[in-house]
Amino acid sequence: MYTNPSLATISAVGFDMDGTLYDEYEFIDQVYCEIINQTRDLINFEKQACLWMNKRWLIKGSSYPYIFSETYQKFGINQENESLFVSRAIDIYRNFNPELHLTRRVRFALDFFASNYPIFLITDGNNVLQRKKFHSLGLSQWFSGDSAFFTGDFDSSHHKPYTGIVRHLGINCSDENILYFGDRDIDRRFCEAAGFEFQMVKNMVVIS
C-alpha cells in the first residue's frame, strides 16, 4: 500500500484523526443537521440552513470560526437572537454523539502499521468531543493508553504545531525516525518542527 523506500528506516508511525483516518464531512453533516434540528425555534428554512452550513464548511474548513454566526445572519428568525443561537450551536456541537466509520482502506492501513511499528495518534480539538469520535470509530483497537494523545486535555498552547506533546508519548524526537500522517498544513508544520517525516493524506489516501 505504501511503497516509500524510507519505510525501511521508520521506527514509529503517527496519525492525526479528523480527515486523516475518517471522512470528517461524515461528522459535520451529522452535527450540523442536529444543530438545526434543535434550534428550529430560532431558524427559518431548516433544510436549506443545514445544506448551506455543510457547503460553507466545505469551502472554509474546520478552523473557520464564523459558520454559526453566518448561518444565523442568513436564516435567523430574529437577528437579536444571534448570540443565543451561536451559544446553543457550540454546546450541541461539543456534546454531540456521532456515528462514524472507518473505511476498509483505513482499517488495512492501521493493521499494517500496527503490526510493523509502534503507532500513536495526536489529535487537536475539544477533548470530550474528540474522545467521542475516537470511540465511535473504534480506534481503541489500535491505540490505547499513552499512544493516543488529546491536546484538548491541555490549553491551546499544546495544540499542533507545538512539539512538546510528543514527550507524553514517550518518543524522543532527537533519535527516532518517525513518519506522521495528517491532512492539514498544521500537521505539516508540526512535523517540520518535530523533525518527523510527513505524508499528506485524506482518509489515508495519499494526496501529495
- Give residue-wise pLDDT tens across range 125-158: 999 999 999 999 999 999 987 899 999 998 888 8
- Give residue-wise pLDDT tens across range 169-186: 766 666 568 999 999 999
- Residues 136 and 198 occupy one common structural domain: yes
Among the candidates 67, 94, 121, a domain finishes at 94
CA distances to 121, 161, 176 from 165, rounded to whole Å, are: 11, 9, 15
- Residues 29 and 9 occupy one common structural domain: no
> Where does the pLDDT of residue 92 fall: very low under 50, low under 70, confident under 90, or very high at 90 and above?
very high
Higher pLDDT, residue 1 or 153 = 153
In the predicted structure, residue 208 carries a pLDDT above the cut 70: no
The pLDDT, as a whole number, for residue 5 is 47
- Residues 90 and 105 occupy one common structural domain: no
- Residues 128 and 35 occupy one common structural domain: no
- Per cent of the chain over pLDDT 70 is 93
- Residues 13 and 116 occupy one common structural domain: yes
Distance of CA 199 to the CA centre of its chain: 16
Total number of domains constituting the chain: 2
- Residues 192 and 119 occupy one common structural domain: yes
- Residues 89 and 16 occupy one common structural domain: no
Mean pLDDT of the chain: 91
Lookup: cell for 126 = 475539544
Domain range for 10 is: 5-22+101-206
Q: Check which CATH number belongs to the domain holding 171 and give it.
A: 3.40.50.1000
91 HSE (CA, 13 A, CB side): 8
- Residues 106 and 83 occupy one common structural domain: no
- In whole angstroms, what is the distance from residue 12 CA to residue 90 CA? 36
In the predicted structure, residue 165 carries a pLDDT above the cut 90: no
The pLDDT, as a whole number, for residue 79 is 87
Residues 6 or more apart in contact with residue 197 via CB below 8 angstroms? 6, 10, 177, 178, 179, 180, 191
- Residues 112 and 188 occupy one common structural domain: yes
- Residues 89 and 134 occupy one common structural domain: no
- Give residue-wise pLDDT tens across range 102-121: 999 999 999 999 999 999 99
- Residues 86 and 112 occupy one common structural domain: no
Among the candidates 35, 64, 94, a domain finishes at 94
Among the candidates 94, 110, 138, a domain finishes at 94
- Residues 12 and 56 occupy one common structural domain: no
- Per cent of the chain over pLDDT 90 is 75
- Give residue-wise pLDDT tens across range 52-75: 999 999 999 888 899 999 999 999
